[in-house]
Amino acid sequence: MGIMESVIKWQTGEPKEEGEYLVTLFNGEITFNEYCCITNSDGEEEFFWTNWDENYIIAWCKLSEIEPYKPIE
């Protein structure tokens, strides 16, 4: 059985780019969420989480920053 560790570098505030994220919720749960951007009728970009209000998310880590498991050969 192979064991591998990956460090999750949690960040707070607003992400700087769209994408898929692992998030920590206010109640301590860890779950998946997407951060998206739309352009409103005034041509301004608006960023938002697809699930949960931004005030309910206390920390996040972009999934692409987590090293995937690599089987030992």
Task: Please write the tens of the pLDDT for every residue from 54-67.
Answer: 899 999 999 999 98
Give Cβ neighbours of residue 39 (< 8 Å, ≥ 6 apart): 45, 46
List the structure tokens of 36. Answer: 């998206």
pTM recorded for the entire structure: 0.83
What integer pLDDT is reported at residue 7 of this predicted model?
86
Distance CA 43, CA 9 (A): 33
Provide the pairing of β-strand 30-39 with 19-25.
Answer: antiparallel
Distance CA 70, CA 4 (A): 8
What integer pLDDT is reported at residue 13 of this predicted model?
94
Gap between the terminal Cα atoms of the chain: 11
